[in-house]
Chains A and B, each alone.
Chain A
Amino acid sequence: MTAEVNTPVTAELAPSVAPGRPIRRRLSWIVANPLPLVLVVLAGSFQIETGVFLTSENLTNVLAQSSILLVVAIPLAFLMLAGGVDLSIGSMAAIGGVVAASLIKGGTPELVALVAILALGLLLGFGQGALVSWAGFSPLIVTFGTLTAGRGIALAISPQSNFDFGPGMSAYGNGRFLHIPWLVWTAILAIVAAEIVFRLLPLGRTVFAIGANPRAALLSGLPVRRVTVSLYVLSAMAATFGGFMFIARLNSAPAGTLGQGLELDALTACLLGGIAFGGGKGSPTGAVLGVLTLGVLQNGLQLMAVPTAWSLAVKGMVLVAAAGLAVVSSRARSGR
């Protein structure tokens, strides 16, 4: 019984759980999953403060701004659930973006360019996964190294930034289908796929098991290495695809700044969503809610014309506050 860590909370909560259970249970669910409430509170206060937050136009805008982050944060969530991490997302996006940009400017059809950068992501992710999984390198070091190296490679490929990729790209980056931007449709597709994998496919359980105890997973005969490598591949492919979404939306591909800081935003979203470093805890749904929380926060602060310096500070504090809630909720849960 390793979890008998002293928690005064445990002793006090335990006997009082029995009476009035439904309400208590709902309360403890909210403590354990605070993000939906946080989202509602944030949206409500921004609406009161600005009067324009809860318009369909602005909400669409929030989703559009969040779509790229969603696409890269969901694979990261799976990777983190399995105990890994990917800090190279920003640079991978840059590589994907500039390679796609050069190909398209060189006359390659958009779809072919897309396939090419997905293949590139596959190769790069496989390299990272192989180093981590087979050679036993630390994922922090491997992907942190790739973050720096990748930015350099992106700059080398495309010293001047390309722009203006034609009507096809701008239709995807800024056009809509059924009033909803194509980018948002892309993100919705990612969310649905994630939920299916996590809840309905055996793979979701395997990912969880690897994060909870890699040794036990191996001895249970689960394909630990293959799955781990696949998750790095998936994360890298999502990142290069994120780069493609970026250039479609911006209609330019600045190698120096494309996707910069994307990995930190994705990491923040996953942590906010209750996915623990080291794995075995959380769900991709959490990461989605984490991204939306960040998106709402960013958009609301923009509407209120809060200076960037302050909005960064608020973002950081939200993360720390969420971590605090996670501690409280895990104590509350171990009491039952």
Chain B
Amino acid sequence: MSQPGLELRGLKHAYGRSPVLRGVDLDVHRGRVHALLGPNGAGKSTLISCLSGVLRPQAGSIRLGAVDLAGRSPAAVRHLGVSVIYQSFSLVDGLSVADNIFLGDELRRGPFVSRRRQAIAAAALFEELGAPVNPGRPVGSLSVGEQQMVEIAKAVHGQVKFLVLDEPTAALGKSETDALLALVRRLTDAGVGVVYISHHLDEVMQIGDDVTVLRDGVVVDSGQVSGYTATRLLSAIAPSAPAATSSSVVDVGAERLRVDSLEVDGVGPISFSVGIGEVVALFGLLGSGRTEVLEAVAGARRRTGTVTLGGEAVAPGSVASCVRRGICFVPADRRHGIFEALSAQQNLLAPHHRSLARWGLRQIGRERQCFDTVAGQLALEPPDAEKPAWAFSGGNQKKLVVGRWLVTSRPQVLLLDEPTQGIDVGARRALHRTLRHLAAEDGVATVFSTSEPAEALAVADRIVVLYRGGQAADLRAHAATETDLLAAVHRHGVAA
């Protein structure tokens, strides 16, 4: 490659006194995909914030040819050809796809915005990217995968030389992921250099050319992907992570939760039951109705059908009454679970201030004690009660949301929507172990949703397969294989 690459040298940054980047080097070449891996809190997000100009690194340089990008404004960085796409999109829901792509850079006819030219240019862009998106549709009506494509089209429509993608497939199903990876390939074929951040090793093996593993703000491993195996990458990311929990055949106790012909927002009828100490996976792709079912059982959506807990009916439509009876829910989207502005302690204790009070008065010492206990159990890092939630890494924010239900007593039923979405391998395994532990030791009836067959098989005792809002199968995990799950989806798909 004769064109200059992007060279990061000795990048350092700290928030207050805690260093996040401690001298990071990274080379990104035009026409290649550089995968950036690392556990939550390794400094990946900070690194790309420095790269995009949102943060000014406290030391080090980011060279693009003769230019140092460090400390330039986001607009200047973009102008020089480096675009960053964050996990949370920067799209305006109410505007059309084309309007979004050309936002701030409108195609004009005289002084007026030319909708026609924008629509034509956007259509041409999608043609080139091989992404089937209608430029006239409002962005709010698109699926997450389609929005991701629009975000990329927006980033590359100018003269982009380098593109940074922060966990682009975190919320995507299989086919949308494939489409995205194909799109990334087209971009590199056109000479764009890509920084690809992901927790999915298979994607990295499939699409990466170079790979760098970041841990605690330093590069622990770096080289060409062809020289690595998935196992070696795994041990670089999480050296101490033990092997995945295998679901042994456990004795499932009496039935605790029963869901009968539940229907919610076009999903259903769904029926399944969960025994004491049993872990059930709701396996399904994006749009299969996983979230709807879990939220309905948790009382957060209107539903029909019956839900019984220990034989007694649960009234629909009230999260508070579900929580009182021990049915606890962990949403998929961190933003639906976390109180960003509030302290770690307030996040953990949010539902418990009343039950921890004595004579109606808060017990400050007792509250702190509870926080310390749970923070210790979950290995919250740092275990700082007063630190606001936004200042924690993604995986630790997830701990705050899950930990909320482990404070005073164990839940009767724990419902988790995509619990491992967007968290790293180490945190993922820790969570799997926590779920199994809660089920085995405390008899918690657990239901979690996932789009990964391997995760469903490894963690669950039983797997309920959902497909496009219908129930496709109900399988015992130890007797099932990945092929069975996909076949269940497939058969159902053909039949429907």
Q: In the assembled complex, which residues on chain A have CB atoms less than 8 Å from the CB atom of B67?
A: none
Stretch at the interface among A43-51, A143-151, A158-166, A205-213: A205-213
Q: In the assembled complex, which residues on chain B have CB atoms less than 8 Å from the CB atom of A8?
A: 56
Q: In the assembled complex, which residues on chain A have CB atoms less than 8 Å from the CB atom of B394?
A: 1
Q: In the assembled complex, which residues on chain B have CB atoms less than 8 Å from the CB atom of A222?
A: 320, 350-351
* Chain B, Cβ-Cβ closest to A10: B15
Contact check, A219 vs B49: say whether CB atoms are below 8 A apart.
no
Stretch at the interface among A11-19, A91-99, A299-307, A308-316: A11-19
User: Is A56 located at the chain interface by the 8 A CB criterion?
Assistant: no
Partner of B46, one of A4, A5, A209, A219: A4
Q: In the assembled complex, which residues on chain A have CB atoms less than 8 Å from the CB atom of B357?
A: 201-202
Contact check, A221 vs B322: say whether CB atoms are below 8 A apart.
yes
CB distance from A287 to the nearest CB of B (A): 18
User: Is B135 located at the chain interface by the 8 A CB criterion?
Assistant: no
Partner of B346, one of A15, A209, A221: A209
CB distance from B395 to the nearest CB of A (A): 12
Contact check, A220 vs B350: say whether CB atoms are below 8 A apart.
yes
Q: In the assembled complex, which residues on chain A have CB atoms less than 8 Å from the CB atom of B106?
A: none
Contact check, A280 vs B46: say whether CB atoms are below 8 A apart.
no
Known: A201-B362, A202-B357, A219-B300. A1 touches B54 (CB 8 A): no
> From DSSP, what is the main secondary structure of chain B's interface residues?
mixed
Q: In the assembled complex, which residues on chain B have CB atoms less than 8 Å from the CB atom of A4?
A: 45-46, 49, 54-55
User: Is B331 located at the chain interface by the 8 A CB criterion?
Assistant: yes
User: Is B470 located at the chain interface by the 8 A CB criterion?
Assistant: no
Q: In the assembled complex, which residues on chain B have CB atoms less than 8 Å from the CB atom of A199?
A: 362
Interface centre among B14, B15, B346, B404 (most CB of A within 10 A): B15
CB distance from B331 to the nearest CB of A (A): 6
Partner of A1, one of B16, B46, B74: B46
CB distance from B413 to the nearest CB of A (A): 13
CB distance from B36 to the nearest CB of A (A): 15
Contact check, A205 vs B319: say whether CB atoms are below 8 A apart.
no
Contact check, A11 vs B58: say whether CB atoms are below 8 A apart.
yes
Produce 1/0 per residue, B151-162, CB < 8 A to A.
000000000000
Partner of A17, one of B16, B74, B341, B356: B16
User: Is A55 located at the chain interface by the 8 A CB criterion?
Assistant: no
User: Is A256 located at the chain interface by the 8 A CB criterion?
Assistant: no
User: Once the chains are docked, how many angstroms separate the CA of A222 from the CA of B318?
Assistant: 10
User: Is B229 located at the chain interface by the 8 A CB criterion?
Assistant: no
User: Is B188 located at the chain interface by the 8 A CB criterion?
Assistant: no
Stretch at the interface among B119-127, B220-228, B332-340, B440-448: B332-340
* Chain A, Cβ-Cβ closest to B58: A11
Q: How many residues of B contact A (CB 8 A)?
A: 48
Contact check, A1 vs B393: say whether CB atoms are below 8 A apart.
yes
User: Is A216 located at the chain interface by the 8 A CB criterion?
Assistant: yes
Q: Which of B22-57 contact A (CB under 8 A)?
A: 45-46, 49, 53-56
User: Once the chains are docked, how many angstroms separate the CA of A6 from the CA of B356?
Assistant: 39
User: Is B249 located at the chain interface by the 8 A CB criterion?
Assistant: no
Contact check, A201 vs B339: say whether CB atoms are below 8 A apart.
no
User: Once the chains are docked, how many angstroms separate the CA of A215 from the CA of B338?
Assistant: 9
User: Is A135 located at the chain interface by the 8 A CB criterion?
Assistant: no
Q: In the assembled complex, which residues on chain A have CB atoms less than 8 Å from the CB atom of B362?
A: 199-202, 204-205
User: Once the chains are docked, how many angstroms separate the CA of A222 from the CA of B353?
Assistant: 10
User: Is A328 located at the chain interface by the 8 A CB criterion?
Assistant: no
* Chain B, Cβ-Cβ closest to A221: B323
User: Is A168 located at the chain interface by the 8 A CB criterion?
Assistant: no
* Chain A, Cβ-Cβ closest to B86: A2
Contact check, B16 vs A205: say whether CB atoms are below 8 A apart.
no
User: Is B329 located at the chain interface by the 8 A CB criterion?
Assistant: yes
User: Is A178 located at the chain interface by the 8 A CB criterion?
Assistant: no
User: Is B206 located at the chain interface by the 8 A CB criterion?
Assistant: no
Q: In the assembled complex, which residues on chain A have CB atoms less than 8 Å from the CB atom of B319?
A: 218-221
User: Once the chains are docked, how many angstroms separate the CA of A199 from the CA of B367?
Assistant: 13
User: Is B298 located at the chain interface by the 8 A CB criterion?
Assistant: yes
CB distance from A129 to the nearest CB of B (A): 17
Contact check, B324 vs A1: say whether CB atoms are below 8 A apart.
no
User: Is B164 located at the chain interface by the 8 A CB criterion?
Assistant: no
Contact check, A11 vs B360: say whether CB atoms are below 8 A apart.
no
Q: Which of B381-421 contact A (CB under 8 A)?
A: 390-391, 393-394, 404
Contact check, A221 vs B351: say whether CB atoms are below 8 A apart.
yes
Partner of B404, one of A15, A220, A281, A336: A220
Q: In the assembled complex, which residues on chain A have CB atoms less than 8 Å from the CB atom of B350?
A: 205, 209, 216-217, 220, 222
Partner of A336, one of B16, B54, B337, B346: B16
Q: In the assembled complex, which residues on chain A have CB atoms less than 8 Å from the CB atom of B54?
A: 4-6
Contact check, B45 vs A221: say whether CB atoms are below 8 A apart.
no
User: Once the chains are docked, how many angstroms separate the CA of A199 from the CA of B404?
Assistant: 21
Partner of B320, one of A17, A18, A221: A221
CB distance from B233 to the nearest CB of A (A): 24
User: Is B88 located at the chain interface by the 8 A CB criterion?
Assistant: yes
User: Is A23 located at the chain interface by the 8 A CB criterion?
Assistant: no
Q: In the assembled complex, which residues on chain B have CB atoms less than 8 Å from the CB atom of A3?
A: 340, 390-391
User: Once the chains are docked, how many angstroms separate the CA of A209 from the CA of B353?
Assistant: 11
Interface centre among B16, B335, B349, B390 (most CB of A within 10 A): B16
Produce 1/0 per residue, A181-204, CB < 8 A to B.
000000000000000000111101
Q: Which of A1-59 contact B (CB under 8 A)?
A: 1-6, 8, 10-11, 14-15, 17-18
CB distance from B187 to the nearest CB of A (A): 26
User: Is B109 located at the chain interface by the 8 A CB criterion?
Assistant: no
Contact check, B336 vs A216: say whether CB atoms are below 8 A apart.
yes
User: Is B117 located at the chain interface by the 8 A CB criterion?
Assistant: no
CB distance from A326 to the nearest CB of B (A): 14
User: Is A223 located at the chain interface by the 8 A CB criterion?
Assistant: yes
User: Once the chains are docked, how many angstroms separate the CA of A11 from the CA of B21?
Assistant: 14
Interface centre among B53, B339, B362, B393 (most CB of A within 10 A): B339
Q: Which of A79-114 contact B (CB under 8 A)?
A: none
Contact check, B298 vs A219: say whether CB atoms are below 8 A apart.
yes
29 A–B pairs (Cβ distance < 8 Å), ordered by A: A1-B46, A1-B390, A1-B394, A2-B340, A3-B390, A3-B391, A4-B55, A6-B56, A6-B74, A14-B16, A14-B17, A18-B17, A200-B362, A201-B360, A202-B357, A205-B349, A206-B354, A209-B350, A212-B340, A216-B337, A217-B339, A217-B350, A219-B300, A220-B350, A221-B351, A222-B351, A223-B320, A280-B339, A281-B341
Minimum-distance CB pairs A-B, first 6: A221-B323, A202-B353, A212-B339, A202-B354, A205-B353, A220-B351
Q: What is B's interface to A at a CB cutoff of 8 Å?
A: 14-17, 45-46, 49, 53-56, 58, 74, 88, 298, 300, 319-320, 322-324, 328-329, 331, 335-342, 346, 349-351, 353-354, 356-357, 360-362, 390-391, 393-394, 404
Other than A1-B45, A8-B56, A14-B14, give 14 A-B pairs with Cβ distance below 8 A: A4-B49, A10-B15, A199-B362, A200-B362, A201-B357, A205-B349, A212-B340, A219-B300, A219-B331, A219-B337, A221-B320, A222-B351, A280-B341, A281-B341
